[in-house]
Structure 1
Amino acid sequence: MKRLTAILAGACAALLCAVMALVLSRPATAAGLVQVTDFGDNPGNLQMYVYRPDQAPAAPAIVLAMHPCGGSGPGFYSSSEFASLADRYGFIVIFPSASKKMNCFDNWSDASKVRGGRTDPVSLMSMVTYVERQYHGDPDRVFVTGSSSGAMMTNAMAALYPEVFKAGAAFMGVPFTCFPNEGSYNPGGNSAPCVNKSAQQWGDVVRQANPSYQGPWPRMQLWHGTADTVVSYAELAEEVKQWTNVHGLSTTPTSTDTPQSGWTRQRFADSSGAVQVEAISVSGAGHSLPMSGMAAAAIHFFGLDSGGPTPPTSPTPPPGDSACWISYTANTWNNGFTGNVTITDHGTSPINGWTVTWTWPGNQQITGMWNATITQSGAQVTARNVSFNATIAPGAQVSFGFQGTYSGTNTAPAGFALNGGACTIVT
């Protein structure tokens, strides 16, 4: 486990989870995120945070969203898109914080592999039950998602409590029961730790967790970057084996497509044509999922993006419109903050490679970033695309974010430029 901690710490420093680790050490003071301290049985010693949008319906759906190693609930809230999607579609999000080594969810102990085991899954189920009771969450629309360690726990929750979760979306995970013990929980030190079972064997460990359960089983969406060196891309095929076997499907996809540039999606449908499992490979991506737009794809897979109380609206630009639209939002606490910048190509030609610049009106200093390479000299900031988001098609958007510090007032920049040209700020 010490090797895992060191490896994941190094990976976090270079990739997305580094930003998450920084963000998540902060208290949850952003409006709308509420910490619940007494939510029921908590053998995993987890912390619970809830995001309920202002316009949630009377019986909202519930999404359990879990961070990677080195992260926390408030950080995943700030660095992922699930809260903004909850605003749009009216579901509640639970953002738990893990407490084990390097803030990883327990995916290795014997207790984590059995229903009712005295560790993290029981604590997570207490959170779901609390939201059903206190927030009138709809027990027939409960979903689970997570990144890395959170993705591993996504597979575990779907396996251990299949009658609770209708669907799951696992970003950079491994099959349920992959790790036999804590000492083996070392994905970064083993190029492919869980590739030694057949589809039948992987399916059997799920069925054995609930011997009397006959279905239906949760639908599963599985994501992985092809260049992931922390949790091997080879694990995606093992997850596919597990969940297709649980659903009684072949490991040969019924269809393959490219829903977005760089994404290769394999879908596994049953005899009625309903997709029960889908696997999405992200070309060239490392240990950095979910990226921009992927949370929305998960919510679509869950079926939560239709009939919501606040359908998406187009940004409203001020007079003097330009071909580049930029929106900026910040979550501020004490002397720290996170910022999110969304670029919209409002022109008629694609943007091939982008550089966004702005000047801070105060003493803001960026300390971490995701989905962009950011440099700062004095008050001047330059953000450049990374390999996977260099192109923005007409009408499409790209988002990036950062963490920073400040003193005094955290005032937003007065303007942004894209590739040297002024952009229209939208709200």
Structure 2
Amino acid sequence: MRLLFALAAASSALAASLQQISGWGSGPAGVSMFVYAPDRLATNPAIVVATHPCGGSAQQMYSSTRLPSLADQHGFVLVYPQTTRYSNCWDVFSPGALTHGGGSDPGAIVSMVSHALSRYGGDASRVHVVGVSSGAMLANVLAGAYPDVFEAAASFSGVPAACFAGAPAATPMSPNQTCAQAQGPIVKTAREWGNFARNMYPGYPGRRTRMQIWHGTADTLVVFAHLAEQLKQWSDVLGVSLTREVAGVPASQYRQYVYGDGTLLQGYRGEGVGHTVPVFEQQLLEFFGILGTAGGPITPAPGPSQTLWGQCGGNGWNGPTTCVTTARCTTQNAWYAQCVPR
């Protein structure tokens, strides 16, 4: 019996968890690096960067998807950047952020990727980024400014790269909401949007970041029109055109837009879905090339209560609004409420 308890304790001690990392490099004040590295890493593992929304955190992003359990199964590394600047929103507006090698939040995340590749023996050809809301805006910026770093990116409720160029900030309280909420919406041609992305890294001759873009039609915080604007931008950058639309993928209220053969650019429209589009992990990891397609589409498992540290409310939130019994739902700001310990 004692041996069983000892083995159980040892197993628990070895279990992977979200860890803050020091010594990863430099970045703006308030930007930090967290990592989930499974106990059993694949040889030369893929690196997936997951960027949180406004008002969010590394812990919130870690708790909001099934990516950690899938990392346990498939041996990839998850990097969770965190910012406490601009109400925990990312810099997607400054000249530095919108320029390759210009520093700010994008430059800090590139440093985190470099550190993760070295620390975990990662595969530099399999570095991906997925972002939600402000994190999705950042994913678009990283794809534009650092195509040499990110092989693929996924945007859930984001805006085109450089949409916030020239704005004083990119938070819901910013005085200039022309981009996110379409006060006289920013609508450009595919070539104009494409030039914005290309101008982030002038003269870059290499391959471009593949893109998967998701948006809900009922989004009032970052309006649905940005699905079309993002697809225009990346269809121009990647040189592909819409070839087909597929209803019911990956769930009944969604429509998939396939560009070319679907390997470079995909779009997803969520009918009646608000600002918080669920992360469909299987479709995401299939697009990243981490999973095969044999398993077929799955939908995120619904649940009556949110887990500890998960999101439980906020503008546009359409997920659980109650917490597990050990937590309570606390409003952090107008667009984010979180389940915190009682």
TM-score, length-scaled by structure 2: 0.79
Secondary structure in 1 matching 2:71: helix
How does 1:26-425 map onto structure 2 within 5 Å?
31-43=16-28, 45-183=30-168, 185=170, 189-190=177-178, 191-192=181-182, 195-250=186-241, 252-259=242-249, 260-269=251-260, 273-291=261-279, 294-306=280-292, 337-338=308-309, 371-374=319-322, 403-406=339-342
C-alpha distance 375-203 of structure 1, shift in aligned 2 (>3 A): closer
C-alpha distance 168-404 of structure 1, shift in aligned 2 (>3 A): same
CA deviation after TM superposition for structure 1 residue 44, in Å: 5.6
- Output the CA distance in 1 between the equivalents of 2:123 and 2:326: 47
C-alpha distance 45-118 of structure 1, shift in aligned 2 (>3 A): farther
When Rg is computed on C-alpha atoms for both structures, the one with the higher figure is 1
Q: Does the aligned pair in 2 maintain the 1:166–1:217 contact within 8 Å?
A: yes
Q: Does the aligned pair in 1 maintain the 2:86–2:171 contact within 8 Å?
A: no
CA deviation after TM superposition for structure 1 residue 111, in Å: 1.0
TM-score, length-scaled by structure 1: 0.64
Give the unaligned 5+ runs of structure 2: 1-14, 296-300, 328-337
- Identity among equivalent positions (%) equals 37
C-alpha distance 166-339 of structure 1, shift in aligned 2 (>3 A): closer
Q: Does the aligned pair in 2 maintain the 1:148–1:171 contact within 8 Å?
A: yes
Runs of 4 or more above 6 Å deviation: 325-331, 366-370
- Output the CA distance in 2 between the equivalents of 1:99 and 1:375: 24
CA deviation after TM superposition for structure 1 residue 75, in Å: 1.2
- Output the CA distance in 2 between the equivalents of 1:151 and 1:114: 17
CA deviation after TM superposition for structure 1 residue 184, in Å: 6.2
CA deviation after TM superposition for structure 1 residue 241, in Å: 0.6
Higher strand share: 1
**In structure 2, what is the equivalent of residue 419 of structure 1?**
none
* Deviation readout 1:103-161 (Å, 9 max, x if unpaired): 00101111111011131011000100000011111111100110000000001111111
Secondary structure in 2 matching 1:281: strand
Q: Does the aligned pair in 2 maintain the 1:68–1:104 contact within 8 Å?
A: yes
- Output the CA distance in 1 between the equivalents of 2:194 and 2:313: 44
Secondary structure in 2 matching 1:145: strand
- Output the CA distance in 1 between the equivalents of 2:131 and 2:244: 26
- Output the CA distance in 2 between the equivalents of 1:301 and 1:187: 30
Secondary structure in 2 matching 1:279: strand
- Output the CA distance in 1 between the equivalents of 2:221 and 2:44: 39
Secondary structure in 2 matching 1:275: coil
* Deviation readout 1:308-357 (Å, 9 max, x if unpaired): xxx9xxxxxxxxxxxxx9999998xxxxx4589xxxxxxxxxxxxxxxxx
C-alpha distance 328-197 of structure 1, shift in aligned 2 (>3 A): closer
> Which letter does structure 2 place at the counterpart of 1:275?
T
- Output the CA distance in 1 between the equivalents of 2:90 and 2:196: 19
Secondary structure in 2 matching 1:87: helix
- Output the CA distance in 1 between the equivalents of 2:116 and 2:95: 27
Give the unaligned 5+ runs of structure 1: 1-29, 312-324, 332-336, 341-365, 382-401, 407-427
Moved more, 182-191 or 279-288: 182-191
* Deviation readout 1:346-385 (Å, 9 max, x if unpaired): xxxxxxxxxxxxxxxxxxxx99997234389xx799xxxx
Secondary structure in 1 matching 2:31: coil
C-alpha distance 201-133 of structure 1, shift in aligned 2 (>3 A): same
C-alpha distance 76-129 of structure 1, shift in aligned 2 (>3 A): same
Q: Does the aligned pair in 2 maintain the 1:62–1:92 contact within 8 Å?
A: yes
Moved more, 147-156 or 195-204: 195-204
**Aligned CA-pair RMSD:** 3.2
CA deviation after TM superposition for structure 1 residue 31, in Å: 4.9
CA deviation after TM superposition for structure 1 residue 256, in Å: 3.0
- Output the CA distance in 2 between the equivalents of 1:160 and 1:300: 24
CA deviation after TM superposition for structure 1 residue 299, in Å: 1.1
Q: Does the aligned pair in 1 maintain the 2:60–2:309 contact within 8 Å?
A: no
* Deviation readout 1:385-408 (Å, 9 max, x if unpaired): xxxxxxxxxxxxxxxxx82534xx
Equivalent pairs, count? 303
C-alpha distance 370-48 of structure 1, shift in aligned 2 (>3 A): farther
- Output the CA distance in 1 between the equivalents of 2:259 and 2:136: 20
**In structure 1, what is the equivalent of residue 8 of structure 2?**
none
